[in-house]
Structure 1
Amino acid sequence: MTAAPESTQMLTAIDDFCDYLTLVVGRSEATVRGYRSDLRSLAASIQDLSSFTLSNLRAWLGQAVEEGKTRATLARRTASVKSFSTWAVKNGFIDTDEAARLVSPRVSRDLPKILGQTQAGEFVANAASSTEEEYRRDSAILELLYATGMRVSELCGLDLDDVDRHRRMVRVLGKGNKERMIPFGEAADDAVGQWLDVRCQMAKVDDALFVGVRGKRIDTRQIRRIVDRAAMVSGVDHLSPHSLRHTAATHLLDGGADLRQVQEMLGHSSLQTTQIYTHVSSQRLLDAFRQAHPRA
């Protein structure tokens, strides 16, 4: 399928759709960026919205297969175009929901990488930083990620007044601008307190809880570097910041927490999303049985 000149009408519709996702639906910046990227790829393959047909959509996805795109990428592209198609019909850009008949490829869900309880405790204590101020900040970041299971983007968005150290609760603004309160423990509270004692030496903004080396609100890339450095010191391979979220959820369930409580803490809109952690807990139990039981 050869590339076609991008249609102004198509690009306008894509921009309007992305504005709708951001302002009305409340999708995250990363989600909207992914939808925009997928749809602009489509716009480069079809001439205009009059060419928004099922056969052309299938040809576009088929081209992605030929390029060696993964099943996850194909599933995301299918979801993007199906959502856009439904919106475009409602807003008069097209007459028929052509993408409704597309079938998304099934994507296997691998169990997330998690740390053991002892390993997690050692990991969050292994902040590798060049200065005392950065060490305290990085330690507080690692402790909070593990204590609360919040997303990295949510941690970056925390303000000083979001943290109630008296009640040991933190207010988080999650996906869809949904606010929730998450408890945290003594270790995280101590780490946050030590960071707050020196925050003024780094911060050039009044509101952000965590700041980067330039004194502005910290971003997700800096958080990933902090996790990467701690992983290197701890000897843990391929650990992402999201792995601390997986670890927190699994350890809560291992400790007897109710699934719906974990769902609320993580900010999942669907209980089905949270249920993957029950499989992790079951797998950990099975692994322990096979290793320890004489008749395993």
Structure 2
Amino acid sequence: MHTDLDAYFQHLRSERQVSPHTLDGYRRDLLKVADYCERQALRQWSGLKAHHLRQLIAELHRKGQSSRSLARLLSSVRGLYRYLNQEGLCQHDPATGLSAPKGERRLPRLLDTDRAMQLLDGGVEDDFIAHRDQAMLELFYSSGLRLSELVGLNLDQLDLAAGLVRVLGKGNKVRELPVGRKAREALQAWLPLRALAHPADGAVFIGQQGRRLGARAVQLRVRQAGVRELGQHLHPHMLRHSFASHLLESSQDLRSVQELLGHADIGTTQIYTHLDFQHLAKVYDQAHPRAKRKQDTDT
């Protein structure tokens, strides 16, 4: 079974060209399934049936695995069996018709507009790290980049004169995004300092030794900015969520926000309509005379 998995992972790498992050997710999920099969004395993928998968899903759910993680595991199994069927190694898909237990849909955390401005409008010290970090924060919020997109960004993908950045997103899909005035100014302040560090390659964001910043380093710098400027936890995806929510709140154009975020399915983008409704409901509760709570003056 592990031989088949290795062949499938190679197929994902070379033919499907999935990202390393996506490949790691498939590997974690499918190794759980392979471990279960070994415990059940199943020696071939053809022996795994729907009732086995139901049992595994129930077992993982009892151990606290989230509904989202279980749904992803089932998706990983479906992908594996598509491959196995194409290769003539199986003639079924045990995940057909199965779904993960429903869980409460958690809305993403984000900054409101005032907090976003507080984060970005603080004073920037005139040094290498401060200008680099400011440029990263501005670009995250200005253009809604994913962490992987910012880390992988090269100079030839930036056109500051036109106010555009070209990013390589999920599924190797390229999209062009606007870069706002404040983000352009921050990048223009950063790039001359970058050049002085003798960059090892064309990476936009580098460390003081000239090497491309990794995802962990960017997460750390964003977290430190959140503590320093806001006194709260902050991560790159929170800035992406804030970008999407604030844009939708102003434009009400869900389809355009979908394109900017690079979502293949508009259903993924619709989470931000729930966030927008929460904002509207809060305004209503605070402002509408018939919604205000009666003061507890009577006893």
Give, in angstroms, the shift of residue 180 of structure 1. 0.7
Matching residue's letter, 1:38: D
Residue 266 of structure 2 is matched in structure 1 by 271
Contact 2:67 2:103 (C-alpha < 8 Å) held by counterparts: yes
- The separation in 2 between residues aligned to 1:277 and 1:245, in whole angstroms, is 11
Give, in angstroms, the shift of residue 127 of structure 1. 8.4
Q: How many residues end up aligned between the 2 structures?
A: 286
- The separation in 1 between residues aligned to 2:243 and 2:206, in whole angstroms, is 24
Alignment of 1:69-148 (within 5 A): 69-126=65-122, 132-148=127-143
Cα deviation digits, residues 62-88 of structure 1 (max 9, x gap): 332343323232222222212212321
CA distance 1:84–1:126, shift in 2 (3 Å): farther
Give, in angstroms, the shift of residue 134 of structure 1. 0.7
- The separation in 2 between residues aligned to 1:234 and 1:39, in whole angstroms, is 41
- The separation in 1 between residues aligned to 2:197 and 2:130, in whole angstroms, is 12
Contact 1:28 1:175 (C-alpha < 8 Å) held by counterparts: yes
Cα deviation digits, residues 8-29 of structure 1 (max 9, x gap): xx12222222233334334332
Query: What is the TM-score when the length of structure 1 is the normalising length?
Result: 0.89
Residue 173 of structure 2 is aligned to residue 178 of structure 1: yes
- The separation in 1 between residues aligned to 2:238 and 2:219, in whole angstroms, is 11
Give, in angstroms, the shift of residue 206 of structure 1. 2.8
Residue 24 of structure 2 is aligned to residue 28 of structure 1: no
Residue 23 of structure 2 is aligned to residue 13 of structure 1: no
Alignment of 1:207-246 (within 5 A): 207-246=202-241
Unpaired segments of 5 or more residues in structure 2?
292-299
1:248 to 243, 258, 262: 243
Residue 41 of structure 1 is matched in structure 2 by 32
Residue 155 of structure 1 is matched in structure 2 by 150
Q: Secondary structure at the match of 1:100?
A: coil
Query: What is the TM-score when the length of structure 2 is the normalising length?
Result: 0.88
Greater Cα shift, 38-47 or 175-184: 38-47
Residue 260 of structure 1 is matched in structure 2 by 255
- The separation in 1 between residues aligned to 2:175 and 2:252, in whole angstroms, is 18
- The separation in 1 between residues aligned to 2:288 and 2:219, in whole angstroms, is 39
CA distance 1:295–1:42, shift in 2 (3 Å): same
Unpaired segments of 5 or more residues in structure 1?
1-9
Matching residue's letter, 2:106: D
Give, in angstroms, the shift of residue 259 of structure 1. 1.6
Contact 2:144 2:239 (C-alpha < 8 Å) held by counterparts: yes
- The separation in 2 between residues aligned to 1:202 and 1:127, in whole angstroms, is 23
Q: Secondary structure at the match of 2:88?
A: coil
- The separation in 1 between residues aligned to 2:262 and 2:5, in whole angstroms, is 28
- Aligned Cα root-mean-square deviation (Å): 2.1
Contact 1:162 1:172 (C-alpha < 8 Å) held by counterparts: yes
CA distance 1:128–1:88, shift in 2 (3 Å): farther
Greater Cα shift, 107-116 or 62-71: 62-71
Matching residue's letter, 2:11: Y
Q: Secondary structure at the match of 1:171?
A: strand
Q: Secondary structure at the match of 1:94?
A: coil
Matching residue's letter, 1:286: A
- The separation in 2 between residues aligned to 1:256 and 1:98, in whole angstroms, is 44
Cα deviation digits, residues 218-263 of structure 1 (max 9, x gap): 1111111111011101235333210111110111112215221111
Residue 4 of structure 1 is matched in structure 2 by none
- The separation in 2 between residues aligned to 1:285 and 1:19, in whole angstroms, is 48
Identity of aligned residues (%): 38
